[in-house]
Amino acid sequence: MAQKKVKKPNKVVERNITLTGEIMRYLLDHPNVFTSLPDSFELVVLPEDDPEMRLYNLELLDKYGSASKPIVFARIKSHQKRIDPKIFVPLAV
């Protein structure tokens, strides 16, 4: 199946750094979450309210992701004052 290349969103680096910082702040405030995460992983930020960024980040995972590291997905609403990400660790079967 042919896939259309996703256009690079404006200020993608700044937006990803901001969202990653918010996720890290959440994890530091809720250290118990670390017990459910792998020791070494790749974090993929999936903004629920920004489909352009979500698709672009998934494309980056396809292009640069490491097959040797587990992936952790963080779904987040980027336009909220209080960040409450939903963190998913896919299970290998």
Q: Is pLDDT above 80 for 1?
A: no
Q: What is the pLDDT of residue 43?
A: 92
Residues 25-48: what's their mean pLDDT? 91
Say what the pTM is: 0.80
CA 20 to CA 74: how far, in whole Å? 9
Say if residue 85 is exposed, middle or buried (CB neighbours under 10 Å; 0-12, 13-18, 19+).
buried
**Residues 21, 7 contacting (CB under 8 angstroms):** no
Question: Which residue segments constitute the domains of the chain, with CATH numbers given?
Answer: 12-88 (3.40.1350.20)
